[in-house]
Amino acid sequence: MAKFDFNAISQPVLEITMPDKDHSRLRLTTPSTSLVERFGAASEELDEIFAKKDSSTIQQVYRLIAEILSCNLEFRKFTAEELKEYLSYDHIVAFVLAYMKFLADTKSAKN
């Protein structure tokens, strides 16, 4: 009988340290295609989103980042409300840049 184990597939990982009080470490994996597309669209408009100071749009950015951070090997889940407690605009921008590089490196490694 043939077998296939999804757990045997080596996944690219981005290791991050959170700015929370415990300096939690996470190993992020690549998310779904739809989440990558939404992330790409939001990252292009990040400066504009925060400049407008529209709370609902900023909330959407935090929700998106929470979804991305929830794609981790530790199976930890995040909420936008939780992230707003300790992720500033500068944290978001730095994370977006690092995550975009991770996705680009992952894509180029597959080609």
> What would the pLDDT profile of 43-90 be if each residue is shown by its tens digit?
777 767 777 777 777 888 899 999 999 999 999 999 999 999 999 988
The pTM score is 0.81
Per-state percent for the chain, helix, strand, coil, to nearest 5: 60, 10, 30
Do 78 and 86 meet the contact criterion of CB atoms below 8 Å apart? Answer: no
Q: Supply the pLDDT for residue 110.
A: 62
